[in-house]
Structure 1
Amino acid sequence: MTETPTPTPAPAHHPYGTPDTPHVTVRGEAHLEVDPELAHITLTTTARGTDRRTTLDDLTRRNTATLDLIKSYGDTIEKLETGTLTINPELTRHGRAERIRAYHGHIQLTLTINDFASLGELITRLADQELTRIDGPWWSLRPTSPHHATARRQAVRETLQRAREYAEALDTRLGALLELNDTGTHHTPLGRAAFAESMPYAAAAGGAEAADAPPLDLEPVRQTIDAQVEASFTLIPPNLG
């Protein structure tokens, strides 16, 4: 009868190393500052009137005009989304009966723009729309931006460099990589710009002067990316004698 040989157990893994297989654990970091890839703005169009249907019609007309203007920029607009739509009655402040004094309508749009060359012109033209408020722009990177991978690679190289420096200080060298942990890649937008139309009737009253307004000169805000990794290596046992 042939006996099946008993498998040799694998050597136990010692997370903190042993005199025969010392470990070194280091952290690497990378900090990048790069140009943004996208700009985001929020538009709020308003209508007000004493009749509910008239208020809704005015809001619809203004929203349609705004959408037509935005869509005329084609692929410059990477994303266009409609947010909240509200029609709120305003009650009179005096008297016992609940009487409606006026109706207030609001509709919100959010835009993502990828062409900064036309951004100032677009914002200026949107500000020329009736009863339109503009907030932004806010700058960002795409989630798939290659800058994230660049930061991670730099963090790994920093980790390896640090580990080699420790090994060199002990007059030895690295053995093998035991573990590599991604402790996080963070994108931190720096700053924000805001522009709001403070004279909502300027387009109706200003006419040609408003149409001839020069495009806003906007400077994109650079973005920061932080990446951190942690790695453990074995060391060739140093001679500490």
Structure 2
Amino acid sequence: MCELLGASANEARNYSSWLIPFRARGGGTADNPDGWGLAWWQAGAARIEKAPAPGHRSERMRQLAQEVSGDLVLAHVRKATHPAQPGASNTHPFAHACCGREWIFAHNGMVPDIVGRPCRLDTCRPEGETDSEFAFCQLLAGIVDSYDPSDIGHWLGRLEARTSEIALFGKFNFLLSDGRVLVAHGHDRLHHAERADGLALVATEPLDAGDWHPFAPGELRVYRDGALLASHVATQPGTAS
């Protein structure tokens, strides 16, 4: 059911040690054959490349896994569930504008009942059909009135509240970034590793022999420049009635 990889660092660096094994999980060592995507930032500018094809067979993903450098990275390999067909517009990560910034998002899990629910952020219109992208727009709608890039405490509470609401509809593991911070929510299947060299990693499954720890159920963690800024239990996994 898809896998995630995120990284936040105190300087631009290469991520091949983790992206190479992550690429293999795109239909090789794990059953995620329906798409791959990679976003990375350098000096605040984001790039996204993705394709609705198995990552482990993609020559372009192989090249990117070896060469990508930046201070923030967000990657995804997809097992198509909602909708069940692969497609370019349904391939993660997704990008939408909010509060004067570009936000990038990737999701692992299923929250199909979120599709079609009213969203007060009219500018966030899903380009594809995934429950993931609809949930992304709902997250942004939750912070549009409170986002302040210089004061994370001003908007994090709103993000936690909206995360809790969406998580009631199913499984909602996600990565989210505005190009400054990396937000990670572990509903039921996510791990983190903080290294002494100024690098924080988040992944569905550990990607090396390092000191990885599982997220607490419903834990929301926020990183900037490789350091943990906040950690809260935002949800308790459950099912909406």
Higher relative contact order (CA 8 A, sep 6+): 1
* Shared fold, TM over 0.5: no
Greater gyration radius: 1
TM-score bracket, shorter-length normalisation: under 0.3
TM-score (norm 2): 0.22
What TM-score do you get using the length of structure 1 for normalisation?
A: 0.22
